[in-house]
Amino acid sequence: MSKVLVIAEQRDGRLKKSTFELIGASAAAGNETHVALLGEGITGLAQELAHYGAKKVHIADHAGLKFYTSEAYSKVLFPLIQSLSPSVIMASHTPTGRDLMPRLSAKLNVGLASDCTQLAFEGDQIKVRRPVYAGKATVEVEFLGSGPRMATVRQNALGVPKPDTSKTAEAAPISVDLGKIAAQVTEVVKGTSARPDVTEAAIVISGGRSLKNAENFKILEETADVIGAAVGASRAAVDAGFRPHRDQVGQTGKVVSPSLYIACGISGAIQHLAGMRTSKVIVAINTDSEAPIFQLADYGVVGDLFTIIPLLKEELKKIKEH
């Protein structure tokens, strides 16, 4: 059994699903699971973390933590880690986790395994697996030396456990003194999209260059709306201005791991595969039966997406209605 510290992520008072995945995985392995919860007006979220297996929630509720900055967050987390001495520290491999964890690992002078897709707790040790070479291979990482083992974990890689609302956690407020802060976020201007983010959605429907223009992405959006999916895109579609960069899946875009990934008119270049290879089920629709995406797909449809997608939408609607 290890003492594990999960760094929770919340936005606008809503906890991220990926935080529940980490807590669930730690608690399921019988670990003493602590959670650090930072932000402003977030104290009320502590019990929700308990439903997934948090034993103790360390809460830093402070106006200076309203918006994430690595400087302010690490000023709170560093002393907490020193006093708690966890064996393992985990965060989600989100933009926040990717920014914060390297700073903390440098301050603690310990190693960090990033973008892990599998975890195995062994006593107070942890072994992790992470994809390398754009997902072409997977390495197992063991930590050497002393000090906490640190890992960021890919979203949707572990799965969210069923919450148990009868569980409660000890809430431990942290007294926050941020001192002098060099840079501060004063405002966050949100994008206009009401759709789920590709990294969080259970289903992603992505389109490529073959969609030909931004307008044609409507057929993907309409299908996505039927099943609550997010809409993603290849880099070629993004570079052509069909979709914003936030929707790009791949090596230089976002890494997704949904239950279902539907690639529409996407060739399957290695840089695209790097961003969606760990999806649980992959469906590809492509006119070219030799397209590389079919080598990875669980289900392949050789055909014109402009014919297939509307048919798929109608079938999905029928399933939804029944």
Report the interface residues with ligand FAD, using CB under 6 A.
Answer: 208-210, 234-237, 248-253, 265-267, 269, 271-272, 275, 285-288, 291, 304-306
Residue type, 12: D
Instruction: Please say which residue, 221 or 288, places its beta carbon nearer to ligand FAD.
Output: 288
Q: Which residues contact 319 (CB under 8 A, 6 or more apart)?
A: none
Instruction: Please say which residue, 290 or 321, places its beta carbon nearer to ligand FAD.
Output: 290
* Shortest reach from residue 290's CB to ligand FAD, in Å: 9
Instruction: Please say which residue, 81 or 266, places its beta carbon nearer to ligand FAD.
Output: 266
* Shortest reach from residue 103's CB to ligand FAD, in Å: 25
* Shortest reach from residue 216's CB to ligand FAD, in Å: 10
Instruction: Please say which residue, 272 or 277, places its beta carbon nearer to ligand FAD.
Output: 272
Which residue number is nearest to ligand FAD in terms of Cβ? 250
Measured distance CA(241)–CA(17) in Å, rounded: 30
* Shortest reach from residue 248's CB to ligand FAD, in Å: 6
Q: What is the enclosing helix (H) or strand (E) of 284? A: strand 281-286
* Shortest reach from residue 311's CB to ligand FAD, in Å: 13
DSSP string across 67-127: S--HHHHHHHHHHHHHHH--SEEEEESSHHHHHHHHHHHHHHT--EEEEESEEEEETTEEE
Q: Which residues contact 130 (CB under 8 A, 6 or more apart)?
A: 113, 114, 115, 116, 117, 138, 139, 141
* Shortest reach from residue 317's CB to ligand FAD, in Å: 21
Instruction: Please say which residue, 252 or 295, places its beta carbon nearer to ligand FAD.
Output: 252
Residue type, 254: K
Measured distance CA(248)–CA(246) in Å, rounded: 6
| CA distances (Å), origin 47, targets 54, 89, 164, 169, 192 | 9, 20, 11, 6, 31
| CA distances (Å), origin 181, targets 13, 176, 265 | 23, 13, 48
Instruction: Please say which residue, 72 or 230, places its beta carbon nearer to ligand FAD.
Output: 230
Instruction: Please say which residue, 81 or 255, places its beta carbon nearer to ligand FAD.
Output: 255
Measured distance CA(53)–CA(197) in Å, rounded: 26
* Shortest reach from residue 63's CB to ligand FAD, in Å: 37
Instruction: Please say which residue, 36 or 285, places its beta carbon nearer to ligand FAD.
Output: 285
* Shortest reach from residue 274's CB to ligand FAD, in Å: 7
Structure tokens at 19: 């935080």
Q: Give the CA count within 13 Å in the CB-facing half-sphere of 259.
A: 8
Q: Say if CB 229 and CB 204 are below 8 A apart.
A: yes
